[in-house]
Chains A and B, each alone.
Chain A
Amino acid sequence: MSTLFTRRKVLTGMGLLGLGLLAGCDNSPKLNFKYGKDLSDKIMGRTFKLKNTEGETVTLSSYRGLMPVVFFGFTQCPAVCPTTLARAAQAKKLMGRDGEIMQVIFITLDPERDTPEILDKYVKAFDPSFEALYGTPEEIAVAAKEFGIFYEKIPAGDTYTLSHTATSFVFDTRGNLRLGLQASLTAQECAEDLLTVMEVC
């Protein structure tokens, strides 16, 4: 039974590959990015299961057909988080109509303070299409680990701030991880590499 299933999967895979070749798509396991990091051979970020701000459970497959751009942060972050979200909004604009399949997903690393209401208003202040995901601190820890995200609370007076990985992770429309965008890149550089991800079909 399982052998049959596997065979069927292989056949489907071959079929898709054939179609891809016919259509002139780039199916190569590696992509040539000008600025970001090729993550095509990295097995990560596949199994996260969190909630969107409407309370619905979402996984990577919820975004099939879109190009998810995943970034971890927190709304009380004064610098890198708003800068990265503003850059994503700008890159989306630069891509014109192609930008319509780009889906920015902001995952909070501070679920104790970031309520769904604040998260929703926060990401939508950058672009109305952006989504935020949250979960219990344990669920967030699992998702962060899945992406290899480092984060830690830093005491700040009576409260705390967070240090965290600032990379944006880009998947192709089939849900394969493709690209890592560092915080140092500009919106124009991101847009160019995002268009390269879109050449995959």
Chain B
Amino acid sequence: MTAVQHLKRLTLGLTLLGLAAHASAQVQVSDAWVRATVPGQPASGAFMTVTADVDSKLLRVASPVATDVQIHEMNMQDDVMRMGPVDSVALPAGKAVTLDPNGYHVMLMGLTGQIKEGDPVPLTLTVENAKGEQQAVEVKAIARGVDGMAPSHKH
């Protein structure tokens, strides 16, 4: 085991300890979905609505289906789509923050396999409150078609 792996384990251990001690704040996640991929496509996006009951921020997201998960922000100006990673997403108390194709979204990079429509995709969100306490939120996103339409909405 390399030093880095040791460090990662240690960090994980400490994080879990921290989580156990302060899992008090409420974070609601709804409408979580992931865009299905075609075979060989190495990346996809995850989208959802997150509401925290106290001022918090979404620090990171992890998923077993991807080796690298990042939070990106997209914005449009003069019909140019600009994209890039962000450090965190602010979750003001009680406000439903939408991660959708028009703004913040979770990038699942280095996919371990094809994501098919209807597949459940586990996501772990790490949310930190104003006191610096971190909490893990487990979410099960459902894969929609490549066009982003839920199976029930198709005609």
Which A residues lie at the B interface, using CB under 8 A? Answer: 75-80, 82-83, 85-86, 89, 113, 115, 117-118, 121-122, 125-126, 150, 154, 156-159, 161-167, 180, 182-184
Assess the A183–B74 pair: CB atoms within 8 A: no
Binding stretch for chain A, among B75-83, B89-97, B119-127: B75-83
Assess the A182–B79 pair: CB atoms within 8 A: yes
Q: How far is the CA of A155 from the CA of B137 in the complex (A)?
A: 28
Which B residues lie at the A interface, using CB under 8 A? Answer: 35, 38-45, 68, 70, 72, 74, 76, 79-85, 101-102, 105, 107, 109-110, 145-149
Query: Which of chain A's residues have a CB closer than 8 A to the CB of B81?
Result: 79-80, 163-166, 183
Query: Which of chain A's residues have a CB closer than 8 A to the CB of B45?
Result: 78-79
Assess the B107–A86 pair: CB atoms within 8 A: no
Query: Which of chain B's residues have a CB closer than 8 A to the CB of A78?
Result: 35, 43-45, 72, 74, 101, 105, 107
Query: Which of chain B's residues have a CB closer than 8 A to the CB of A75?
Result: 38, 41
Q: How far is the CA of A86 from the CA of B68 in the complex (A)?
A: 26
Q: Distance (Å) between the CB of B35 and the closest chain A CB?
A: 6
Contact of A86 (CB < 8 Å), options: B39, B42, B148:
B148
Q: How far is the CA of A184 from the CA of B145 in the complex (A)?
A: 21
Assess the B80–A156 pair: CB atoms within 8 A: no
Known A78-B35, A78-B107, A83-B101; contact A165-B148, beta-carbon cutoff 8 A: no
Q: Which residue, B68, B80, B110, has most C-beta atoms of chain A within 10 A?
A: B80
Q: Distance (Å) between the CB of A121 and the closest chain B CB?
A: 4
